[in-house]
């Protein structure tokens, strides 16, 4: 059973306090208005029960609309980064390393996106380093590949290098990777 409830303290506390404030503010406003209705009814100007029901209905609809708009804003600030990262993950799955753009100014999940971006950059760099290592190995091996099997293995390594270059540099020519196995 998990006991840590605040996993992202800043993010969670921000919205907990915002929702708490909205709820408390709404109840305070309702209480003030209900007190006004009760006072007016005591002075004989209104029917207190009927006015209180109208006030409750209006407050319920108003709070529902306010929370719905807040929910739209909040989910947009979270769903936007998740959507962008899912597009990046799809590009990664296709073997490409996308250029990551920064999040919008008020987007949430900034820490997660920063870690995600750092991971993509490290993987891209590792892929570029491997392509360079393959290029150096190919330069050394191209003169000694004399048998058909070694030339086929060399061609496979060349295709692998091309694919790695293509992944980190979209302007590189497309790879045709085939296995020797």
Question: Is the pLDDT assigned to residue 177 strictly greater than 50?
Answer: no
Tell me how many degrees the CA angle 3-4-7 measures, rounded to the nearest 5.
160
- Tens digits of per-residue pLDDT, 51-79? 778 888 888 898 899 889 988 988 999 99
| pLDDT confidence of residue 172 | 59
Which position has the higher pLDDT, 38 or 143? 143
Q: Percent of the chain having pLDDT more than 70?
A: 91
Does 181 score more than 80 pLDDT? no
Residue with tokens 């404030």: 21
Cβ(96)–Cβ(175) under 8 Å? no
Q: Averaged over 28-50, what is the pLDDT?
A: 79
Whole-angstrom CA distances from 48 to 11, 20, 29, 139 are: 43, 29, 17, 92
pTM of the model: 0.66
- The token pair at 151 is 């030339």
pLDDT mean across residues, the chain: 85
Instruction: Render pLDDT for 108-157 as a digit per residue (tens, 0 to 9).
Output: 999 999 999 999 999 999 999 999 999 999 999 988 888 999 999 999 99
pLDDT at residue 74 in the model: 87
């Amino acid at each position: 059973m998990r006991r840590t409830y605040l996993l992202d303290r800043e993010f969670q506390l921000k919205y907990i306090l915002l929702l708490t404030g909205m709820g408390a503010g709404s109840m305070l406003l309702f209480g003030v208005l209900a007190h006004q209705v009760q006072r007016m009814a005591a002075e004989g100007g209104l029917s207190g029960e009927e006015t209180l029901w109208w006030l409750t209905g209006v407050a319920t609809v108003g709070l529902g609309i306010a929370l719905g708009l807040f929910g739209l804003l909040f989910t947009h600030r979270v769903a936007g980064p998740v959507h962008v990262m899912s597009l990046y993950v799809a590009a990664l799955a296709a073997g490409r390393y996308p250029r990551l753009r920064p999040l919008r100014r008020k987007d949430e999940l900034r820490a997660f996106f920063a870690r995600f971006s750092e991971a993509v950059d490290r993987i891209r760099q590792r892929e570029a380093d491997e392509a360079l290592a393959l290029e150096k190995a190919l330069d050394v091996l191209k003169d000694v590949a004399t048998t058909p099997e070694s030339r086929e293995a060399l061609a496979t390594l060349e295709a692998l290098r091309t694919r790695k270059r293509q992944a980190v540099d979209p302007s590189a020519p497309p790879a045709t990777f085939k296995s020797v196995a």
